[in-house]
Structure 1
Amino acid sequence: MHKKTSNKKESRLKHFFKILGPGLITGAGDDDPSGIATYSQAGTLFGLQTLWTAFITFPLMASIQGMCAKIGLITSTGLTTTLKNHYPKFILYLMLVFSVPATILNIGSDIAGMGAVSHLLIPFIPSYIFCILFTALLLISIIKFSYQKIANILKWLCLSMLLYIIVPFLLRPDWAAVLKHTFIPIIRFDKDFLEILVAILGTTISPYLFFWQATMEAEDKKKTASKIFVNKKVLSEMKQDVTTGMFASNLVMFFIILTTGMVLHGHIKQIDTVEQAAKALEPLAGQMSYVIFAIGIIGTGFLAIPILSGSLSYIVAETFGWKKGLDKKFYQAPGFYIVLATSLLVGLGIDLIGISPLKMLIYTAVLYGMTAPVMIAVIIHICNNKKIMNKHTNSIFSNVMGVLTFIVMSLAIIALLYFQLRS
């Protein structure tokens, strides 16, 4: 009897890991080096006071990414194609105008972060050499490997997120204070605090993730079966995958704020880049914490950049009706891969000409912030459109969460623009 129960549990666990895919990868990709810089800055400036944001952003992220995943499953196409087929062209082109530069700036910021951290670990090699090497490696890997191979590689890279969960346990935090700041929100109505809240929201709920989620669900559906029937079981498994990915993303965000809040708050005045965060940890938290933090940045960069460049390629290719897909060879979808390569090379170029990573983060946040509320409104509308979603339209709960996310993101961009215009 005990053996049967044990086998049953093992079987359930195997099934759970088997259904993890697009949702887990999307969630993990959200914690890119530029995101880590934002969370590090929150912890450095305000200690544990922003821990509660992870508790709030998790349900908001899960609801919107769940809608995007459902759109991909039901329509078997990406979000761009759905927009193109069912909505006015100006919405598509507006999204394109804001998404392309924001995504390229994000790629540039992530490559810069990876290069700078690698230079800290191996000081005799300049950071720009690492930037060039990482860009070349990513470009070759994305063009050479099939979608399934890339998806499997990205799944394993998700393990790099675990590094950030380890660090605080090496430092023995005051868990009573941690629980208090997690469940009792503190909001300070001053410019610096509100700017950090806006930056956290812009970093966690990013439009490129909406497009990637829908596209990867559609791609995954094509790979697993030629005519998969979308029923309650399929939707339930998709929801588990997305919820797990978004939970993992917010958990990592929580532990980065916790680590930097414990170690750097009160010792360092400002953290603008990931290498500053990693370097500051070494004398205060020890060599092990510093190395783990730095390696995690490189791992998350390798995870996030293919998602950024891939989502951009799918958006452009679907907009102009080009052949597309990470499962295709270069000669089968040249336009798709040229966009992908260009985004990486332009991102690298931005680093090499010396544009400040902090400026890139600010510009990216503004551009994402301008796009996010519009896209959230469109996604909610799609998910309530019976012509597109058939019988799988949104529940009342999904709509409430979607509208709440729309309100929060709209307020965030208004606040961000207000602060930027004032400064």
Structure 2
Amino acid sequence: MEPAAPIPHEDVKQPERPKLLQVLGPGLITGASDDDPSGIATYSQVGAQFGYRLSWVMLFSWPLMCAIQEISARIGRVTGRGIAGNLKHHYPRGLGYAIVLLVVVANIINLGADLGAMGAGLKLLIGGPALLYVAGFAVVTVLLEVFSRYSRYVSVLKWLTVSLFAYVAVALIVDIPWETVAANLFVPHITRSGAYLTAVVAILGTTISPYLFFWQAEEEVEEIRERPRAKPLSRAPDQAAAEFGRIRVDTYVGMGLSNLVALFIILTAAATLHANGVTDIQTSAQAAEALRPIAGRFAFFVFALGIIGTGMLALPVLAGSSAYALGETFGWHVGLARKPNRAKAFYGCIAVATLLGVLLNFSPIDPIKALFWSAVINGVVAAPVMVLMMLMSTNRAVMGDFRLPPILRAIGWLATAVMAAAAVGLFVTWQ
């Protein structure tokens, strides 16, 4: 009788190298959500007003974004808590309340602006009542966040990032002088005018926003809850090398996609609107409408469709980051992986934040002014939040043996200094 074949032990089998799509998650979604309809409006205005001259800001800001978002993710993955949770445990309560309140207010205003842009974008495509579309988008987003399984919902968000390529497609069908682009991308042509400096501040405030920090840190916490055998690195240091590698790839790809798409939006506006004397674009819907007579119906259609796709990606991030911040601050059960009856306050916050965003569109508040104030709050809040994050990530009491390596620490502080300077510049150039 032949001996039975040995059964291979599962510990002996070498794990397969994860595929890129499996590695991409919180960083990809965070980066893609940065190109929301409000961001599209900012980039369109910059391209229309200044042509290609501010292209360099997208290249300059990429490593800064990568660093601060990687730090956010590390805080969540090491501690098993988000930014607000760590603020609560390690800093004065009043400081945490103030930061979270400002972030939530800015998020709600941003929600309102994005919903309004999505409603206007769909009206451009099919006609009909924009306000009805605003309410419809809000209802769909809340239902998906509350009642979808977390893993399935994350997959939906990943696929929604494809909508960003609409802006790459538009840029490829218009006539762009690539030599001029290269000259402005790699060699900054800085002027001291107030309008120019305000535009730089607007780009930085749009690309490096506090809600992105809160969201990516919390999504790392969600990953710990959802993945078998995953634990906070403070309790499972043997997982650190693999997890930090995953976070780095995820974040660099996500932020790279974010800035690449933003660059293409600037280039499209520069090649079409600026080149034809259209220099004042205040909303993403206006940008889409202005493209129609200049670049053709197809470019208009793709641009407008992209507004809706990116909005569907950004809305859950804005509402979710608000709910995470409030939930950790007040000790609620939080998490998109939880069933609705196990996290009523968390999901209620998502619904209320989205509802308030809808109501802003029915109010007499000027959406352009509301968006401006959102940018002001984000610009003011970003620097102190980044200072606190840098202090957390270099504090042994918070991070244990996983404090930041020197290079990441240096770039993180540089990003913080740039955002502090941008906040100061915002008030200096305020007219």
State the 1:324 CA deviation: 1.3
Give runs of aligned pairs for residues 177-188 of structure 1, distance below 5 A: 177-188=180-191
Match of 1:242 among 239, 247, 251: 251
2:41 maps to a residue whose letter is A
State the 1:14 CA deviation: 6.2
CA distance in 2 between counterparts of 1:55 and 1:354 reads 38
State the 1:12 CA deviation: 9.0
Give runs of aligned pairs for residues 16-415 of structure 1, distance below 5 A: 16-123=20-127, 125-228=128-231, 229-265=238-274, 266-415=276-425
CA distance in 2 between counterparts of 1:267 and 1:298 reads 27
Number of the residue aligned with 2:234: none
Moved more, 251-260 or 323-332: 323-332
State the 1:357 CA deviation: 2.2
Stretches of structure 1 lacking an aligned partner (at least 5 in a row): 1-10
CA distance in 1 between counterparts of 2:60 and 2:349 reads 35
Contact 2:45 2:279 (8 Å CA) reproduced: no
CA distance in 1 between counterparts of 2:85 and 2:289 reads 44
- Give the ranges of 4+ consecutive aligned residues of structure 1 lying more than 3 Å apart after TM superposition: 11-14, 226-229
Moved more, 360-369 or 206-215: 360-369
TM-score (norm: length of structure 2): 0.93
CA distance in 1 between counterparts of 2:366 and 2:284 reads 13
Stretches of structure 2 lacking an aligned partner (at least 5 in a row): 1-14, 232-237
CA distance in 2 between counterparts of 1:262 and 1:116 reads 24
CA distance in 2 between counterparts of 1:419 and 1:252 reads 27
CA distance in 2 between counterparts of 1:201 and 1:233 reads 31
Equivalent position SS for 1:231: helix
CA distance in 1 between counterparts of 2:44 and 2:287 reads 6
Q: Give the structure with the higher percent helix.
A: 1
Contact 2:30 2:212 (8 Å CA) reproduced: yes
Equivalent position SS for 2:179: helix
State the 1:280 CA deviation: 0.4
2:411 maps to a residue whose letter is M
Contact 1:366 1:417 (8 Å CA) reproduced: no
Moved more, 25-34 or 261-270: 261-270
CA distance in 1 between counterparts of 2:261 and 2:308 reads 15
State the 1:13 CA deviation: 9.1
Moved more, 78-87 or 278-287: 78-87
CA distance in 1 between counterparts of 2:372 and 2:416 reads 21
CA distance in 1 between counterparts of 2:261 and 2:136 reads 27
CA-atom RMSD in angstroms: 1.4
What percentage of residue pairs aligned between the two structures are identical? 38
Equivalent position SS for 2:19: helix
Report the number of matched residues.
Answer: 410
